[in-house]
């Protein structure tokens, strides 16, 4: 039987679509202006499931990364967060946004964060 591994951080990539083109972008979303290369929700969820079979513990955080998180909110982000919580119940889940759409999703974000628990919202600084 394979012993589970411990990881400090896991990044879950959901897609390239973004409402900015930041010079410091570390996911390529400043040059990829399409969703053509985005992974499907099914493939993301399967990857999380597969990883959870081999990871004993996430020490710090599971971060959702990609383009602008709030452009994927209902279609991908919410299902991914629920799946991560189911498969990795102790992990802190970090959602990263540039913050420009927060006013449109404030209630949804707060409700999800209070329901799921152990989450943090990160405002990206890639504009610099």
Model confidence at 59, pLDDT cuts 50, 70, 90, reads low
pLDDT in the model for residue 99: 92
Mean pLDDT of 5-11: 85
E strands of the chain, at which residues? 5-13, 55-65, 92-97, 119-123
pLDDT in the model for residue 126: 63
| Sheet of strand 5-13: strand arrangement | 5-13, 55-65, 92-97, 119-123
pLDDT at residue 75 is higher than 90: yes
User: Which token pair is 20?
Assistant: 């900015």
pLDDT at residue 1 is higher than 70: no
Residue 49 CA to residue 16 CA, distance in Å, equals 22
Identify which has the larger pLDDT, 45 or 37.
Answer: 45
pLDDT in the model for residue 24: 73
pLDDT at residue 105 is higher than 90: yes
């Amino acid at each position: 039987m394979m012993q589970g591994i411990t990881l400090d951080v896991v990044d879950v990539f959901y897609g390239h679509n973004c409402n900015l083109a930041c010079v410091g972008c570390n996911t390529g979303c400043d040059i990829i202006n399409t969703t053509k290369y985005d992974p499907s929700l099914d493939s993301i969820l399967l990857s999380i499931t597969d990883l959870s079979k081999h990871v004993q513990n996430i020490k710090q955080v599971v971060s959702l990364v990609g383009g602008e998180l709030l452009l994927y909110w209902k279609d991908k982000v919410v299902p991914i967060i629920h799946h991560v919580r189911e498969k990795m119940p102790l992990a802190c889940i970090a959602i990263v946004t540039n913050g420009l759409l927060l006013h449109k999703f404030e209630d949804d974000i707060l409700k999800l964060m209070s329901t799921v628990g152990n989450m943090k919202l990160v405002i990206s600084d890639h504009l610099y």
